[in-house]
Structure 1
């Protein structure tokens, strides 16, 4: 937890968080501040309440309880003492602060013609701690490579919330922009131009347009821009070879991704889902999958405090979704025991989804020159 993040909190609340044990600080993921309710944190794969001296407890009645004054002061710091300046963010239910930390908000919704106009009486905050994990992408990237085109396949990374999608996509962007492909057969490929559409300001954590996370030397960022519009802006103005977007799911996102495909641009995206079955249960994602857009799917899951990944090709996805197998609808809690065959739930009524595969356009890249790549040592960290 950085000092700049700590400084968001009012002094009395900050003093509690500063006393957290060091191992907890280094794995801190969430700080939940609720008016007149126990202070709670999420770290590793656990949740605990926090006492006034910074020690942890499983008992809510032992926890420090933030007051209305604490919540009011926190909101003022988050909004720089001007709620109207972040009215659009309040309408969406979160504010992203310096460093890429996203703060979810809960309160009373104010409606305008049936749509949420903004929030008021805010009494709940979920501070999600953003941190780079350099090296995360190196474990996954070799399985995403399209060797015929010397770039990545169109890829969708899926998981429930807080499994590491944004952290992974950030490090993959860095690897691709730097030309670190982490595969011996990709030596000499060089780097690719990466365009990130960072709607929630989490991937790059830009400060006045400049990324604060390391995204490599050949990366451009559209900050706080809606994904669908941003994808088209990137293609028209910045000629990316790979477009990176987080949390797709709307029909307009799908149309922009299809436009990127036809423009010869590779797409690296994330979406909320607990597995392939959930992907194919969401109409927008199912449509993209059925059209053969994605050549790879990366499924993320937690095992204890470690994030594990599984890479599935489009052909494998087609085979998996054609089977009738037991599954539990939705994500399971982090501390739930592994699902056994005996405890699985029959998937009655699940209709298999047909997944097509399609050839992707070849990316125009210069052929490797043996003498140059040998001198430059491209392709490896």
Structure 2
């Protein structure tokens, strides 16, 4: 099924017709924003656009179609296959993954138990984020995160939305399949928010390689320990480390002889050094390679790859351009 069909089938019939007739190239569509009694908005090629029933894509704010409560309710029925209860665990985390690996973020009234969210009701805000897999985008960094035929403990640093998850995803895929410089590796992925593999009914919608095992919707710290004990990975990959439990599990993984691929929010290595938890690991030279992305230049732009001593090994490339793999 094409990306366009995967998205259109979960929209209300009226919104489906409007989007279908808007002449949008769905390969460049990033988000569809639905808010009750607010304009229909899309993010397309990193820019915001309004959609109207008459003018379609690129309309003015005054012309924009206003999403009704019934249309949003109908959309949620299609997304959940008429059973929101079946997706209760995912909704507690604020999202549902649909066929194709697309992620539907939801917001509304939170039902809490102490400091824990039990469920969401009166869902009035929906953000459909289209899955984008850029095969080959990790090719520029692979020669620099492999040394003497082994993967280095690598930390990918990027501001939010800078392309770190896309880069991590392709590095996992290429290392799992193997290439001319390194045989395929058994990789364990802890996909806490279903962003790396984008599993739908237990099956990853993104290609993470032939030797990759995924723990979906599992807390990173718990998942890393589980994979070490049960799946014998050679590499463990996680997205957006940060809390104390993540750091403790990460150290445990490294002490077990397993290699780490991880991402963290930040703008530079110095930025990470200033953070008390992960900064300690950087100072202790736990990580052997740092990949820094600079979203100000362009999403996925590789500012540099450096080693634990700060020596720059590589500088300057747009990783999100489609590339030939180094296989």
State the TM-score, normalized to the length of structure 1: 0.75
What secondary structure sits across from 1:180 in the alignment?
A: coil
Tell me the equivalent position of 2:128.
127
Q: Distance in 2 between matches of 1:137 and 1:110?
A: 41
What is the deviation of 1:242?
Answer: 0.7
> Unmatched 5+ residue regions in structure 1?
319-378
Q: Distance in 1 between matches of 2:283 and 2:81?
A: 46
Cα pair distance change 1:278/1:2, threshold 3 Å: farther
Tell me the equivalent position of 1:18.
20
Q: Distance in 2 between matches of 1:111 and 1:125?
A: 20
Counterpart selection for 1:3 from 2, 5, 14: 5
Tell me the equivalent position of 1:166.
165
- Comparing 132-141 and 277-286, the one that deviates more: 277-286
Cα RMSD between the aligned structures? 2.3
Tell me the equivalent position of 2:300.
307
What secondary structure sits across from 1:138 in the alignment?
A: coil
What is the deviation of 1:103?
Answer: 1.6
4+ runs deviating over 4 angstroms: 303-306
Deviations 1:270-289 (A, max 9, x none): 22233334423433322332
What is the deviation of 1:66?
Answer: 0.8
Matching of residue 201 in structure 1 with residue 194 in structure 2: yes
> Unmatched 5+ residue regions in structure 2?
313-324
Please say if residues 276 and 317 of structure 1, whose CA atoms lie closer than 8 Å, have aligned partners that are also in contact.
Answer: no
Please say if residues 178 and 218 of structure 1, whose CA atoms lie closer than 8 Å, have aligned partners that are also in contact.
Answer: yes
What secondary structure sits across from 1:287 in the alignment?
A: helix
Q: Distance in 2 between matches of 1:196 and 1:110?
A: 30
Matching of residue 30 in structure 1 with residue 23 in structure 2: no
Tell me the equivalent position of 1:100.
101
Deviations 1:94-143 (A, max 9, x none): 22222222222222222222433322221111111112111101122122
Please say if residues 39 and 67 of structure 2, whose CA atoms lie closer than 8 Å, have aligned partners that are also in contact.
Answer: yes
Tell me the equivalent position of 1:91.
92
What is the deviation of 1:306?
Answer: 5.1
Larger fraction in strand: 2
Tell me the equivalent position of 1:264.
257
Aligned length: 312
What secondary structure sits across from 1:270 in the alignment?
A: strand
Please say if residues 34 and 66 of structure 1, whose CA atoms lie closer than 8 Å, have aligned partners that are also in contact.
Answer: yes
Counterpart selection for 1:316 from 305, 310, 317: 310
What secondary structure sits across from 2:300 in the alignment?
A: strand
Cα pair distance change 1:221/1:95, threshold 3 Å: same
Q: Distance in 2 between matches of 1:58 and 1:286?
A: 46
- The structure with the largest alpha-carbon Rg is 1
Larger fraction in helix: 1
Please say if residues 97 and 200 of structure 2, whose CA atoms lie closer than 8 Å, have aligned partners that are also in contact.
Answer: no
Tell me the equivalent position of 1:175.
174
Q: Distance in 2 between matches of 1:79 and 1:299?
A: 38
